Structure 1
Amino acid sequence: MIVLTDQQALTLHHLLTAILLNETYRISDLEDAIVWTTPENRQILCPFDSLWSKNLAQEIVRLMNQPS
């Protein structure tokens, strides 16, 4: 379970919203979010994980914006 402070939760919420809507965001917020959500002593080994996540988020937004 991940426990965030109120400020961390707000930052993460704004960051994820910006990514989903393809808006600008601060790299420092992204770096902080990675630290907050990564278990201790675990390294992120694949730099493409974030690219995959962003592509998935963009695809979700695209599908949500399509008329049914």
Structure 2
Amino acid sequence: MYKVARGFLHEEDVVDAMSETVLTCYEKIRTLKQDAYFKTWMIRIMINHCKDILCAQRRSIAVERVCLS
């Protein structure tokens, strides 16, 4: 999980993405159809959380730029 998150995010955001992924997996484990695909399912959730963090960062940077101008 760390390697996947580190590929998307800066070091300070990796732990947040990992903890969100573990929580989501725990909450949604019943939606997993085959146990053999757990790792793939978990990594896909991790990637989605990383993308959400990146989008949130882009939005906050844009707001800061507008306020500073």
Larger Rg belongs to: 2
TM over 0.5: no
Which protein is richer in helix relative to its size?
2
TM range (shorter): 0.3 to 0.5
Report the TM-score when normalising by structure 2: 0.40
Report the TM-score when normalising by structure 1: 0.40
